[in-house]
Amino acid sequence: MVFRKLMAAFGAGVEVDTVLQNSNVRPGEILRGQVNFRGGGSDYKVEGIFIDFTAVVEVESGDNEYRSTYSFLRQQITGPFHLAAGAPQTAPFEIPVPWETPISAIGGHPLRGMQLGVSTELSLAGALDKGDLDPLFVNPLPAQDHVLGALDNMGFRFKKADLERGTLRGSRMPFFQEIEYYAGHEYGRHFSELELTFISGPQSMDVILEADKRGGFLSSSHDTYNRFTVRYNDHPGQVEQSLRAGLHSMAQHRGWF
């Protein structure tokens, strides 16, 4: 990490460096780090420092589609303080990662199509100056790993992942994640692609499946859609059984079996 000079709100500039102790986290864990900063050419009264969790989201508007950056958590880590010219200071922070934070890495490797990060904001006299985005790699919960592993065992092949604007039932997020797979083995003859979404909470998560997408979750028909709940203490075998039951249910509704 290197110091980045924030100029817009501060005129002479304040140098800021945000260091994440653990940029690889899981939902529900604590993101730890510290903001190091030095005053510019003058003394300042800083009203607060904020950490902002952001994600790049696909937005559909009519016939157009574009990518936009959404904030899904903004946490204040300091109150007002005096920043002397040229003086170094440090503000440590510990922020719980929201349970519904989408997956952006698997096995420590970035998940293709996902962009998550944290940025640092300094507030001075009502003006905000935001630093560059520091990447955040959110790895699956163990229960999510069980679902992903079961799909691998069934021959599903990862295609891509992205975030779509919209709020699903049971979620508080302004977007939802779609992890897309090519179907394989026994299900390859029934449908070509599968989309997977997790809605996670402290004790359990809902798994949403959709086969051969027809306009997304918010407008899909129920005959290609299935939703079931996984508890975090479920055995991996139970998770795979629930997944197979969901896939079979969709196939029956479509008349595939």
Residue 238's pLDDT band (boundaries 50, 70, 90)? very high
Local structure of 143: helix, strand or coil: helix
pLDDT tens per residue, range 149-203: 999 999 999 999 999 999 999 999 999 999 999 987 778 777 889 999 999 999 9
Q: What pLDDT does 130 receive? A: 65
User: Which residues lie across from 176 on neighbouring strands?
Assistant: 164
Lowest mean pLDDT: which of 57-61, 62-66, 96-100, 184-188?
A: 184-188
Q: Are 125 and 46 in contact (CB under 8 A)?
A: no
Confidence check: pLDDT of 16 > 90: no
pLDDT tens per residue, range 89-144: 899 999 999 999 999 999 878 999 999 999 888 887 665 666 667 899 999 999 99
For the packed helices 142-153 and 236-253, what is the interaxial angle rounded to 10 degrees? 60
Residue 154 C-beta-side C-alpha neighbours within 13 Å: 23
pTM confidence score: 0.86
pLDDT tens per residue, range 19-43: 899 889 999 999 999 998 887 777 8
Question: Alpha-carbon distance 161 to 59, whole Å?
Answer: 14
Place of tokens 């800021």: 16
Average of per-residue pLDDT values in the chain: 85
Give the residue with greater pLDDT, 136 vs 253.
Answer: 136
Question: Alpha-carbon distance 55 to 176, whole Å?
Answer: 11
